[in-house]
């Protein structure tokens, strides 16, 4: 399947100087192949966004998107804005967040030490995926738990939260109350990548809630809501409640649809229903059953 990889990418600006590069959630369209693959089925199909925080001639890119072409388009957009200094922050090691690293190989790429270690350990696995991630450019600056940065006159904080992945790293704009959340929260529901740690993810979501968050911009969510300013902190609560229900074996065994499982949070509009997440929910149930959670 040969086509322009970025023809459906939308550049959104939910807040001045905060850009979202959103692609996917387009019914009937695939970018890579008609065969099952991570790019179409686990990223593009669910919708994915990378972000950039810009002030003056500086930019901080949060994740490098799902392909080298997407990353190159992000860089071109920033340079067209007059940006002359770019740094990159990785939210975690999963392929749909690091696939474009090579477009920023000459930049500082910042990540948790755990992210750098996981990428290095999984280099061959990532190269063997479909589509393959090769070459993989690794982070060149690492930190352990928290890191303070500036982008022009904007304060930025990076914080480690073990949610979704052991190396979850959120980008927090404390002066604006804006959280760039990576995969720590997701709409419609979180994807459970590490089922044996799901109970810890619940506790970490409670800790995340302690930040003075006013707006959340997730990596996977509804494009219109992101464009309009993102989600309220209730998205964290909805993701936490979902995990807590899944950790109850009786709730998992009850069957039924995702729509029924999260009916209360859909009614409050903390989350929005997107039908492809029914398959994510089914996989989550199997994953927790396999590890005997609850």
Domain count for the chain, please give it. Answer: 1
Give the pLDDT mean for 147-175. Answer: 98
Residue 251 inside a domain? The answer is no
Helix or strand or coil: residue 233? coil
Helix or strand or coil: residue 132? coil
Residue 64 has pLDDT above 90, yes or no: yes
Measured CA to CA, the distance from residue 4 to residue 8 in angstroms comes to 9
The mean pLDDT of the chain is 96
Residue 260 inside a domain? The answer is no
User: Which residue range forms the structural domain that includes residue 178?
Assistant: 10-232
pLDDT for the residue 179: 98
Q: Report the CATH number at residue 81.
A: 3.60.15.10
Q: Grade residue 197 by pLDDT with cuts at 50, 70 and 90.
A: very high
Give the pLDDT mean for 274-288. Answer: 96
Which residues are within 8 A (CB) of 85 and not within 5 positions of it... i.e. 6 or more apart? 57, 58, 59
Task: Please choose, from the candidates 157, 148, 144, the residue with its C-alpha nearest in 3D space to the C-alpha of residue 211.
Answer: 157
Residue 5 inside a domain? The answer is no
H helix or E strand, kind and range, residue 201: helix 198-208
- Counting every residue written for the chain, the total comes to 294
Residue 248 inside a domain? The answer is no
Helix or strand or coil: residue 109? strand
Residue 271 inside a domain? The answer is no
pLDDT for the residue 241: 98
pLDDT by residue (tens digit) across 218-256?
A: 999 999 999 999 999 999 999 999 999 999 999 999 889
pLDDT by residue (tens digit) across 6-57?
A: 999 999 999 999 999 999 999 999 999 999 999 999 899 999 999 999 999 9
Whether pTM > 0.85 for this model: the answer is yes
pLDDT for the residue 293: 80
Residue 266 inside a domain? The answer is no
168 class by beta-carbon count within 10 Å (0-12 exposed, 13-18 middle, 19+ buried): buried
User: How many C-beta atoms surround the C-beta of residue 207 within 10 A?
Assistant: 12
Residue 2 inside a domain? The answer is no
Residue 289 inside a domain? The answer is no
pLDDT for the residue 119: 98
């Amino acid at each position: 399947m040969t086509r322009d990889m970025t023809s459906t990418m939308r550049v959104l600006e939910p807040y001045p100087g905060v850009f979202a590069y959103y692609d996917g959630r387009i019914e009937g369209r695939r970018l890579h192949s008609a065969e099952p693959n991570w790019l179409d089925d686990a990223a593009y199909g669910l919708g994915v966004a990378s972000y950039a925080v810009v002030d003056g001639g500086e930019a901080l890119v949060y994740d490098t998107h799902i392909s080298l072409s997407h990353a190159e388009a992000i860089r071109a957009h920033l340079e067209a804005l007059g940006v002359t200094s770019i740094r990159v922050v990785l939210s975690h090691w999963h392929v749909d967040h690091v696939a474009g690293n090579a477009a920023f190989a000459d930049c500082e790429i910042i990540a948790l030490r755990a992210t750098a270690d996981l990428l290095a350990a999984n280099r061959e696995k990532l190269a063997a995926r479909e589509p393959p991630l090769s070459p993989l450019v690794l982070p060149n600056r690492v930190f352990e738990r928290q890191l303070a940065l500036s982008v022009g006159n904007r304060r930025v904080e990076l914080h480690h939260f073990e949610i979704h992945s052991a190396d979850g790293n959120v980008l927090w704009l404390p002066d604006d109350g804006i959280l760039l959340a990576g995969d720590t929260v997701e709409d419609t529901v979180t994807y459970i990548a590490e089922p044996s740690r799901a109970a810890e993810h619940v506790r970490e979501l409670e800790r995340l809630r302690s930040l003075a968050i006013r707006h959340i911009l997730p990596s996977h969510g509804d494009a219109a809501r992101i464009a309009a300013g993102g989600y309220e902190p209730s998205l964290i609560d909805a993701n936490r409640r979902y995990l807590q229900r899944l950790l109850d074996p009786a709730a998992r065994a009850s069957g039924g649809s995702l729509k029924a499982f999260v009916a209360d949070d859909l009614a409050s509009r903390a989350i929005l229903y997107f039908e492809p997440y029914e398959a994510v929910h089914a996989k989550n149930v199997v994953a927790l059953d396999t590890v005997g959670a609850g």
